[in-house]
Amino acid sequence: MNLAHLTATQLLEQLEAKAITPQEIAQASLKQIREIDPTVHAWEFVDEEVIQAQLTKISTYAQTDYPLYAIPIGVKDIYNTYDMPTQMGSPIWQDFTPGNDARMVHYLRRSGALMLGKTVTAEFAVHYQDKTRNPHDLLRSPGTSSSGSCVAVATGMVPVALGSQTAGSISRPASYCGIYGFKPTFGVLPRIGVLKTTDSLDTLGFFARSVEDLVLIFEASRVRGENYEYVHHHIDNYHTAPEKKFRIGIVKHPKWDLASDAAKAAFEQWCCTLQSPRLEIEEAVLPVFCDTIHTTHQCIYDKSLAYYFKDEYAQHTLMSPIFYNIIQEGNKITKEQYQEALEKQSRETVAFNDWIESYDILLTLATADEAPIGLTTPDIPDANIIWTYLGLPTATIPVLKGKNGLPIGISVVAGKYRDKLLLDFLTYLKTLNLVKTVLPISPVNSKESV
């Protein structure tokens, strides 16, 4: 039995049956890292002494009391970890150790999980990433900024890894690398102790290779209780309806024309397989204000980066030209323009919540095409910014192939705080055999040349 091929849910089953031990799971992950990471460069920090200290503590736990008992997790290097550096993809913060855990890391440790190490992130979780490679084609981008986390899961180095999304940083890597990504509703995963780039866009999430693992990690890492009014009402008190009919809207978003013909054809063919009495499907036309969301998002994004990274900007010799230029553009945006953009985001989020009442689920392409050639090649614009801007729960499912046989994902979107409804939909798709558990991939050398 190759433990690197097992999902977190499957590992828990083997642990419960006493067929494997926590030590064996950790060693299987470390073996994968030693063999594969020199090729794909997904990890920023892995220390066997830190891992062993955690295993010693985990060995005192009773598995029945810990839902993530001994499950190794990759942590995007923007989450604080008390026992590992948090360097945020920048030489400016090299070897910085915060001395505490991000709240979400704390929740996962409290559930018995093993924080295996820190995964590579783009510089300050923005755009610039020239290190991690796509295992499906080493000449192609793995997606930014959660590149290391996604590749670590795709290659079986860990079954689960943490990411974040301010534009498309979970959805795009998951699409390009052929695994599952999940960005819950804005704020449902606690952001305390995680690098802040914007106040109204930063959203946490994670990667996995099965639907069951998405459900498992969501429950272990989210906030809950009466202090979180909307979460308590819509998520804590959610009840699955066994025979529910799902109202599905097929979306051609404002950037649809930029998608490749192959991607659009594959998406349309897959949508034709949605045959079930429980699926009510129609084409959905997004509200007209969605046409300007990309522009408003950029205003919020650039101005926020310029504000939060003033000190780093002063050390620009250690900053990439991409990030430096974003801050320069952000400095041109006035306070009034920024406030107007935030007010627009708030109004449009409320309006979209009303519009989406007609649907349980929206489906569209997660990316415009397969992963682009070149580690720093810009992504073709897609719809991910829309879902992030509106704070909507979004899952990426690995179901399509492009013209070169490389992965393209589909975005599954629901209304705010309908995270469990979205996960129920994915679970139902699995019963229809329309989504499957993904096996790890070994790195592939491209036959193309740049």
What are the residue numbers of the active site?
Answer: 76, 145, 169
Q: Using CB atoms within 10 A of its CB, is residue 409 exposed (0-12), middle (13-18) or buried (19+)?
A: buried
Give buried/exposed letters for 269-279 (b at 16+ CB in 10 A, else e).
Answer: ebeeeeeeeeb
Q: What is the 3-state secondary structure (H, E, C) of the chain?
A: CCHHHCCHHHHHHHHHCCCCCHHHHHHHHHHHHHHHHHHHCCEEECCHHHHHHHHHHHCCCCHHHCCCCCCEEEEECCECCCCCCCCCCCHHHCCCCCCCCCHHHHHHHHCCCEEEEEECCCHHHCCCCCCCCCCCCCCECCCCCCHHHHHHHHCCCCCEEEEEECCCCCHHHHHHHCCEEEECCCCCCCCCCECCCCCCCCEEEEEECCHHHHHHHHHHHCCCCCCCHHHHHHHHCCCCCCCCCEEEEEECCCCHHHCCHHHHHHHHHHHCCCCCCCEEEEEECCCHHHHHHHHHHHHHHHHHHHHHCHHHHHCHHHCCHHHHHHHHHHHCCCHHHHHHHHHHHHHHHHHHHHHHHHCCEEEEECCCCCCCECCCCCCCCCCHHHHHHCCCCEEEEEEEECCCCCEEEEEEECCCCCHHHHHHHHHHHHHCCCCCCCCCCCCCCCCCCC
Pairing state of beta strands 72-76 and 114-119?
A: parallel
> Which of 74, 72, 47, 222 shows the shortest CA–CA distance to 146?
74
